[in-house]
Amino acid sequence: MKKTTYLLAIFIAFQTFSYAQCPGTPNPGYTCVPDTAFEQALIDFNYDSEAILDGRILTADALAATGSLSLPNKGISDLTGLEAFLNIDAVNLSYNTAITVADLTPNINVTDVNFEGCSSLSTLTVTGLTGLENVNVYGTVLTAIDLSTNTALLLFNAQNSSLGMIDLSANGAVTNVNLRNNNLTSVDMRNGNNANTVFRSDFNSSLTCIFVDDATEPNLGSWIIDGGSTFVETEPACATLSVERANATVFSVFPNPASGMVTITSNLEQDTRLGVYDITGKLVLTNTISFGNNRLNIASLPSGVYLMRVTTNTKSVTKKLVVK
C-alpha cells in the first residue's frame, strides 16, 4: 500500500512538473520567462513574488506592475514574458547587449521606450502604441523601424545606429530627432512640424535628400546636417538633385574664372571628347581628355562666358567657364 501511494505521488509530481514546463504551456495563472537573467532581475525587483528561478512568474504579478519596468544592464537576452506586463507605461532595458529582438505591441500603455546601448538589437516593434512619446535606440544595430502608428511621438534618438532610412511623416508631434552617424539614404520629415523640431543627421555620408514640408522654413537653418545633404520637398526634386550631383562628379575645372591655362579633372575611365562653346553656341575649342588631370590652353579665347561640354557615348555634361 505504501509503495503504491509513493508511486502515485511521484506520478502526480511528474505530471505537474511536465505541465508547468516553460517555454511551452505553463500552469494556468503563470507566464513563461525562460531567460534566467530576465527572471532573476524580476525577482530582484520584486516582480516575481514566488522568488523561485523556475522559468515562470505569476501572471498576476506581471499585471500588478505599473509605472516603469526598469531593468538596465542585467544580461537579458530573451524578453519572453514581457507581453504579460500590460499595465506598465515605460520600459528601460538599456545596455542589455544580448537582446536582439523586442516586440512591445502587447504593452499598449507604454509611452517611453529605452534600448540605449543594446548593441545587438536589430528588431524593435512598437506598432499600435499610439501613446508612445519617447524612443531611444542609441547604439543599436537597427536598420529600420516603423513609427507610422506612433502619432504621439515627441522624441526619437537613434544616434550611432544602423538605420538605412526613416519615415517620420506621420509623426506630427515630434520635436526632437537625432539620427547622427547611421547609414541613412532617405529621411522623410514631411510631418507639418518642421518649424518646432530640433534635428540632426550629420555623419550620414550617403544621405542626399532630406524631405521637408518647406525647404525655405527658417528653422531648417538650425538643423545639423552633412554638407552633402539637401532639403527637398518632393521626390522629383530629389531625383533632379541626384542627377545634378552625379554630373558634378564627371569632371571639374579650375581655376574658374581663368586665363591662359585651366586644369580639367576627369573621373571617367575612358578618353572623353571636350568641346568649348561661346554664348552663341559656336564651337571654339576641342580636345580629348583622359582620366585624371588634363591641361587646356585657353589663351586664344577672348574674355567672356563659355560652356565646356564633356561628351561620352552615354551622357553629355556641361559646365560654365569664365575667361578673364
pLDDT above 90 covers what percent of the chain?
70
* Mean pLDDT, rounded, for 35-40: 97
* Mean pLDDT, rounded, for 130-143: 98
Q: Which three cell numbers stand for residue 64?
A: 500588478
- Model confidence at 17: pLDDT above 50: no
- Model confidence at 27: pLDDT above 50: yes
Pick the CATH number of 251-323 from 3.30.930.10, 3.40.1390.30, 2.60.40.3080, 2.40.50.140: 2.60.40.3080
44: left (phi over 0), alpha (psi -120 to 50) or beta: alpha
Judge residue 93's burial from the number of C-beta atoms within 10 Å of its C-beta, 0-12 exposed, 13-18 middle, 19 or more buried: buried
Q: In degrees, to the nearest 5, what angle opens at C-alpha 45 toward C-alphas 43 and 48? A: 35
- Model confidence at 241: pLDDT above 70: no
Do residues 99 and 119 touch, judged by C-beta distance below 8 A?
no
* Mean pLDDT, rounded, for 301-310: 90
Comparing 31-45, 207-221, 300-314, the range with the smallest average pLDDT is: 300-314
Q: Where are the domains of the chain?
A: 66-241, 251-323
d(CA 57, CA 196) in angstroms, rounded, equals 45
311: left (phi over 0), alpha (psi -120 to 50) or beta: beta
pTM over 0.95: no
For the chain, give the mean pLDDT.
89
Q: Convert the pLDDT of each residue in 222-240 to its tens digit.
A: 999 998 888 999 888 887 7
d(CA 136, CA 22) in angstroms, rounded, equals 31
- Model confidence at 248: pLDDT above 70: no
Nearest to 34 by CA among 14, 50, 20: 20
Nearest to 145 by CA among 171, 169, 164: 164
Per CATH, 66-241 and 251-323 having the same topology is answered: no
Per-residue H/E/C for 292-310 = EEEEEECCCCCCEEEEEEE
Q: Convert the pLDDT of each residue in 70-102 to its tens digit.
A: 999 999 999 999 999 999 999 999 999 999 999
Pick the CATH number of 66-241 from 1.20.1730.10, 3.40.1350.10, 3.40.50.300, 3.80.10.10: 3.80.10.10
DSSP of 5-59: HHHHHHHHHHHHHHHT-SSS-PPTTEEE---HHHHHHHHHTT--TT---SSEEEH
Q: Convert the pLDDT of each residue in 282-294 to its tens digit.
A: 999 999 888 889 9
